């Protein structure tokens, strides 16, 4: 294994070795919510995001 792995590399190795595939949907949802929060704060897209919620 490499010494300086990125966070995604470490996460991928964890999921692969521990067979924790059930964590994948949780991680995807958390990333999507984070992206929505970032774009929803101050963006031209924010009125459309608020319409979805």
Q: What is the DSSP string of 2-50?
A: -SS--HHHHHHHHHHHHT-TTHHHHHHHHHHHHHHHHHHHSSTTHHHHH
Is residue 2 pLDDT above 70, yes or no? no
CA distance 25 to 12: 13
Is residue 29 pLDDT above 90, yes or no? yes
| Mean pLDDT for all residues in the chain | 81
Is residue 1 pLDDT above 70, yes or no? no
Is residue 41 pLDDT above 80, yes or no? no
CA distance 52 to 48: 7
Residue 22's pLDDT band (cuts 50, 70, 90): confident
- Domain locations in the chain? 21-53
């Amino acid at each position: 294994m490499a010494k300086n792995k990125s966070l995604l590399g470490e996460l991928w190795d964890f999921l692969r070795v521990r067979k924790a595939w059930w964590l994948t949907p949780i991680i995807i949802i958390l990333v999507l919510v984070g992206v929505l929060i970032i774009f929803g704060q101050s963006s031209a897209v924010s009125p459309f995001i608020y319409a979805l919620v």
